[in-house]
Amino acid sequence: MKKMINFTVGPVQSNDLVNDIGSEQVPYFRTQEFSNVMLENERLIKKFVNADEESRVVFITGSGTASMEASVINTLGEKDRVLIVNGGSFGERFVQLCKIHKISYDEIKLDIGKPLTKEILDVYDGNNYTAFLVNMHETSTGVLYDLDLISNYCKKNNLFLIVDAISSFLADEVDMQKYGIDVIITGSQKALACPPGISLIVLSKMALKRIEQTDSLCMYLDLKSALKNGERGQTPFTPAVLILKQINARLNQIEKNGGVKQEIEKTKKLAEYFRNSIKDLPFKMVTESPSNAVTSLYSLNNKANDIFLNLKDNYNIWICPNGGELKDKVFRVGHIGNLSISDYNVLIDALKELKNKGML
């Protein structure tokens, strides 16, 4: 098969360390050795999101959405009134989850690319909400929401704060204590740059209390059982063992290379390099509040999907297409995973060539 360069937002490119583990035999996991791997994973994740001592982490075998669903059904209930930020398909996912699980909610609908502002939030003040659900980075449009603003709003209104940081962890600052976050969700195939299949949930003391008091109506995603098993570094059911080992290698590697700050800085540099290099091309940023993880672009000539296909079929490059009504209008270029400036130069040259051929 041709060697592709992958600029999507997940699954992304892994480095050799991670790839080598992927080719190992799967070890038996009900052992102290594997428990040690899991306990170290928990410790490093807590450190990387600046969670306090009493917080816990559970690892779910399932993609990010499994952990979104687990968070909703284990920490929220019929007494809750939830406020959801819905600025795209991932915000919509939280709305669907609350609908399916009969949790009462209101949604703050945002137009494509628009940030959440204080003026918008003020409209919802004093409405007796109990919880707030947000995708820190709405990956479908590339908007990074202002966590400071959200955090202050939740503190003021005493709201339980659930943050889907699936595409933000290691790309933008996710600080549990600084922002008073109760639940942080992330996944293996975004900036962690491992294969898809594991997602994880960081739970504050308040979240742990809520889980204790909530009857979860799902066996596989029951966090009480996951937490109990996790105390000794185990999971209730067979996990994606190798991915958990890959995550362990990645976390240790990040720790050794200077930690989260370093990782965020690297992502930010790639994003800035790409954004500065495409100023003469017929694109426009979808948002003025972009994350470091992805650059979301309008194709001014409505050729977004053609560009995706052209790069894939003729240049061995994957970028991320959009779906639905944005199909021809928007495409996204990711900055997470094992990518370098020279990879971006290949992409930028390809785009320039397409422009010269009149195909942009």
Applying CB under 6 A, the residues found at the interface with ligand PLP are 10, 63-65, 90, 135, 137, 139, 164, 166-167, 187, 190
Q: Which is nearer to ligand PLP, 10 or 77 (CB)?
A: 10
Q: Which residue is nearest to ligand PLP (CB)?
A: 64
In angstroms, how far is CA 3 from the centroid of its own chain?
26
Shortest separation between residue 231's beta carbon and ligand PLP, angstroms: 26
Shortest separation between residue 25's beta carbon and ligand PLP, angstroms: 26
Contacts of 254 (CB under 8 A, 6+ apart): 48, 170, 260, 262, 263
Taken in order 24, 27, 33, 39, the sign of the CA dihedral is positive
Shortest separation between residue 153's beta carbon and ligand PLP, angstroms: 20
Q: Which is nearer to ligand PLP, 141 or 310 (CB)?
A: 141
Q: Which is nearer to ligand PLP, 57 or 68 (CB)?
A: 68
State which H helix or E strand residue 260 sits in.
helix 259-277
Write out the two tokens for 279.
């100023």
From the number of C-beta atoms within 10 Å of its C-beta (0-12, 13-18, 19+), residue 334 rates as buried
* Cα 138 from Cα 87, distance rounded (Å): 7
Shortest separation between residue 196's beta carbon and ligand PLP, angstroms: 6
Map residue 144 onto helix, strand or coil. Answer: strand
Q: Please give, one letter per residue, the 3-state secondary structure of 310-323.
A: HHHHHHCEECEECC
Peptide bond into 11 cis (omega under 30): yes
* Cα 130 from Cα 94, distance rounded (Å): 16
Q: Which is nearer to ligand PLP, 167 or 214 (CB)?
A: 167
Q: Which is nearer to ligand PLP, 191 or 347 (CB)?
A: 191
Shortest separation between residue 188's beta carbon and ligand PLP, angstroms: 8
Contact between residue 309 and residue 327 where contact means Cβ atoms under 8 Å apart = no
Q: Which is nearer to ligand PLP, 67 or 204 (CB)?
A: 67
Shortest separation between residue 135's beta carbon and ligand PLP, angstroms: 4
* Cα 63 from Cα 166, distance rounded (Å): 10
Shortest separation between residue 67's beta carbon and ligand PLP, angstroms: 8
